[in-house]
Amino acid sequence: MSAQHTTPLTKVYSPKEVEEKWYAYWEKNRLFHATVQSNKPPYTIVIPPPNITGVLHMGHVLNNTLQDTFIRYKRMMGYEACWIPGTDHAGIATQNVVEKALAKEGKTRHDLGREKFVEKVWEWKKQYG
């Protein structure tokens, strides 16, 4: 019979402890690192970023989980891949939602002017972002 190493499960799950342990492991093993001009074939994926047009929901979680899974799988298969999700940099969808809200008030972004419109967008972001 071979000796087995087992770790007893704690009665209460502590995500902070688990995340700190694995994050340190990932950093130590450079799992966040991608080499430029690697001899490995590249694997890329288009990442549609979340925007602040509404409250994030389980669909966002599913989308990000699938992207993360694909990238990790390809990386384990020998591809050069690094997944760094971001946020909506252009804000077009957000602008559209804020403009629709203004239209319900009988206003346009031009009525407000650039500065006031940007303030409205930040208010929207504060509420939904």
Q: Assign residue 73 a region: left if phi > 0, alpha if psi is -120 to 50, beta otherwise?
A: alpha
Q: Where are the domains of the chain?
A: 15-76, 92-128
Nearest to 75 by CA among 26, 34, 23, 22: 34
- Helix, strand, or coil (residue 80): strand
Rounded to whole angstroms, the Cα distance separating 110 from 61 reads 36
> What are the tens digits of pLDDT across the range 62-111?
988 999 999 999 989 999 888 877 666 667 778 888 999 999 999 999 99
User: Which pair of structure tokens corresponds to residue 73?
Assistant: 């799988």
The answer to whether the pTM exceeds 0.75 is: no
